[in-house]
Structure 1
């Protein structure tokens, strides 16, 4: 019988002015001690084109079983997603007060 492993997942988004410096010099990862595994799903996913200047993710598993899903977002990408989310929220809260359907924007979540 398999033993159930309890893990804790933390989702962290850093909104930054630029992403490339974090990708070019990964020494900032050294602050995460006891790192067991790191994945870069955006880098490894060849099925679609990803603009690394807009967003980039790291999935990190630690020796104690904790996960950090860390994503960098450019300010522009974050603001676009945030505004899209706020518009959708307004249409759910007060649909009768708004005259048209919400506009479609590039990003649907933060």
Structure 2
């Protein structure tokens, strides 16, 4: 199991475009086998900070998601136009879970 958290802040003028781009790639992710991954996006109270949390059963599904065209376009626009600072990427190691799907 692979767990990744990406946190980033965007410029105010890019908020609506960032949200639209996220909605687009999430719709594409919904077409895939959701038993192999979970992908959630949160915003912090400031409205400018986004937190993406992804869980993947294995590297194959992770690679598949990371190469979905709408996800690649989201990343490109965010990084080239909308990002305010640098994105922080954290890899988490599962210790325990109440969800059997994610048990070791």
TM-score normalized by structure 1? 0.33
From the CA coordinates, give the structure whose radius of gyration is larger. 1
More helix by share: 2
TM-score normalized by structure 2? 0.34
